[in-house]
Every structure is written in structure tokens, then in C-alpha cells.
Amino acid sequence: MPELTPTIGAFVSIEKGRLQNVMDALKAAGYTLVGPTLDEGAIVYDEIEGVADLPRGWTDRQEPASYRLQRREDDAYFGYVVGPHSWKKFLLPPRRTLMRVVKKEGAFVVVDEEEPAPRYAFIGVRGCEMQAIHIQDRVFLGGPYQDPGYRARRQQAFVLAVNCTEPGGTCFCASMGTGPEVGLGYDLALTELDDIFIVEIGSELGATMMRETDWRPAGAFELQQARDALAEARRNMGRQLDTTDLPNLLYKNLEHARWDQVADRCLSCGNCTMVCPTCFCQDVLDVSDLKGETFERVWVWDSCFSIDYSHVHGGNIRPHTRARYRQWLTHKFASWIDQFGVIGCVGCGRCITWCPVGIDVTEEIDAIRGEV
């Protein structure tokens, strides 16, 4: 092992088995590892102990409304793409208690139950997901009012990213400029080759976590192999999307007949918003126990596909599925840019895979563009 830790921006090579050393260093530093693992027929994100919990030798086959696991012919550590979970689940939990009030001796008392934010090390963050985290940063940290819970979790998160070399059937990250390689913001980034990982050092903290791992500078041949694999992945995307002037295309076609056609298929189930790594619709609920002695104000995920979500005083502004689907898609690909300066879709394809009726956003936008 070299006497010095690798420098920021360096590309180094490690034997695949040495990845456990990096994970051990993260655990020793107080991080809880969260990464991909097999559960109930899918690859999901959950707490893991090390490389033994990764879905080695497995891959996923994804098409509209279809997700299947199957064995690979090799023992690749990251030979799959994204499943139904996103890192939003850990940075922005589906349910948070904002305030708790209890009745004591005839008086109501606010109970301070604030817990320290967990220190997560995210293992296996893909390029599209890294961009999704950046988008959520803009939403929850970029304005005059910041979400303190999100900020605390985000500030302590360690990101061990993975460059995608085998895109899925519903991926279109290349069209969105979010992959297959990972953009900025990671601490370490892996590219998996046959026998080694090439590791790019993205931060000083990432370099520190490599101290106990045998590494060597990556060779020119290895780096070319990694570049070739990423170029091949860009050519083999399952989907493509023409993003030219998307906001104007959608704004000028709010009465297009395609909205009625997709509404005939859409179930308004909200699956697309639940699996989306950038959707952030929310609600605040006040709940109490049956005795009226404990009250909580809770923050929960919600969906713009819920009919109650668009209910305001005097009626519902989006009473039909047509209006709700149009709102979701035009927000994601158009008005999100007006709000946050960036498009709200990262091309991960989750909404296509996990839609029960296989609605494909790339197909819907292409249909409008083709008929205009």
C-alpha cells in the first residue's frame, strides 16, 4: 500500500475484495451503511453490514410495468440498476414527527423528542440518483427557508457512488445528462471492471476512508476500459428522450388530446411519485390517541395524484385524472425549471417500471412532440 492516502481527483485501483475494507473504515468512523440488498424479489436500499449483503451475481430486467430479477453469468457486485427505493427514503423519511404534546396533570406540555440525525454512508449511488440528491438539495436547502431535518441528514451523509456500465430497459439518464457516469458531489466513485474497482477520490473524507485499503494508481489501460464501458452504456440506454425546448412544448399543449388518452389508462395510484427520487409532495397531519392525552403533528409523504391533494376552499382544482397527470408531467419537465432552475426528472426510469399499466413518460412526451 502506498505510504500516502490518495489525493482528491485521483483514480486508483483496488481488488474487489478490498471494498469491505472501505466499508469497515466507514463503520469505524460511526457511519451506518445503507446499500442495495435483496428483499422480497427486488433490489432495495436498506441497512447492510458489508459486501456480503450486496446482490452479487444478480441483475434486474426492467420494462414498462415489469421488474424481474435473474442470475448473472458472473459475480458482479453492481450488475443491476435501480429498484423501487431511492435515497430520498433516508434523507427525507416518509413520516416525521414535528411536534408531540402530552397531557400531564390537567395541562398540555410540549415534549421535546428531537433525536440526532443518523450518519448514513450511502453505498452504490448511481449518476441519476446523485443528480436527484442535488435536486432535493435545491428544494429543501436552496431557498430562504431550509428543512432542518433534511439538512442535518444531508450534511452527515457519505456518498460512495457507482458508475453504471449496464443500463436498464427503462433508463434514459443519458438523455437527461445525469449518467451513466456520476457527476459531482460524491466522496468516492467506483467503476466495476472484471477483477478490480477503479475508485475516483471525490473528497478529503473519501481519501481518508481509503487509508486502510491496499490501492495502487489506476493504469491507462484500466482507465480506458472504464471509459469504453461507460460509452457502451450510453449507447445501450433502454429509452431516449428529446429534451429540446421541453417547457414550451408542454406549456403550449395543455389541451392536447394525448392528456385524455393517458388519463384513460392512468389509475391515479401515485406509484410514480412514490418511487420518484425527486418528488416531494407532502402533508402535515394532526393526530391524537383515543383518550385525548397525546397529540402529534406529523409530516408525511403525499402525492399530487391524490384527489385530496388538490382540494382547496371552494372545491378541487384538479378533480380529474387528466388534470392530475398533466400537472405531474408538466411540473416535472417544465415548471420545475421555473421554480428551481433545473429539470425535475433524472431519467432513472422508475416511474415507467413501477407504473401498474406501463405508462412511459418518454412515450407521452414524444407523442405530443410528434403530433405538433
Q: pLDDT digits over 207-259, tens only?
A: 999 998 999 999 999 999 999 999 999 999 999 999 999 999 999 999 999 99
CA distance 119 to 117: 7
Query: Helix or strand or coil: residue 307?
Result: coil
Q: What is the mean pLDDT of residues 171-193?
A: 96
**Does pLDDT of 274 surpass 90?**
yes
Residue 175 pLDDT greater than 70, yes or no: yes
> How high does pLDDT run on average in the chain?
94
The pLDDT value given to residue 114: 72
For 366, the enclosing helix (H) or strand (E) is: helix 361-371
Averaged pLDDT for residues 152-158? 96
Question: What is d(CA 35, CA 162) in angstroms, rounded to the nearest whole number?
Answer: 11
Would you state the pLDDT for residue 313?
Answer: 82
Tell me which of 89-103, 104-118, 174-188 is least confident.
104-118
- What pLDDT does 156 receive? 95
Cα–Cα distance for residue pair 62/67, rounded to 1 Å: 5
pTM: 0.93
Classify residue 371 by burial, with Cβ atoms within 10 Å: 0-12, 13-18, 19+. exposed
> Cβ(329)–Cβ(322) under 8 Å?
no
Q: How would residue 372 be classed by pLDDT, with cut points 50, 70 and 90? A: low
Query: 299 — phi, psi (to 5°)?
Result: -100, 130
According to the model, what pLDDT value does residue 47 have?
97
CA–CA dist 68, 74 (Å, integer): 18
Q: What is the mean pLDDT of residues 162-180?
A: 95
The continuous run of DSSP H or E covering 100 comes out as strand 95-104
For the chain, what percent of residues have pLDDT higher than 70? Answer: 98
Q: Where are the alpha helices (DSSP H) in 75-118?
A: 88-91
Residue 369 pLDDT: 94
> Could you give the angle at the alpha carbon of 179 between the alpha carbons of 189 and 9, nearest 5°?
30
**Taking a C-beta distance cutoff of 8 angstroms, is the pair 114, 96 a contact?**
no
Q: What are φ and ψ of residue 194, in 5° steps?
A: -60, -45
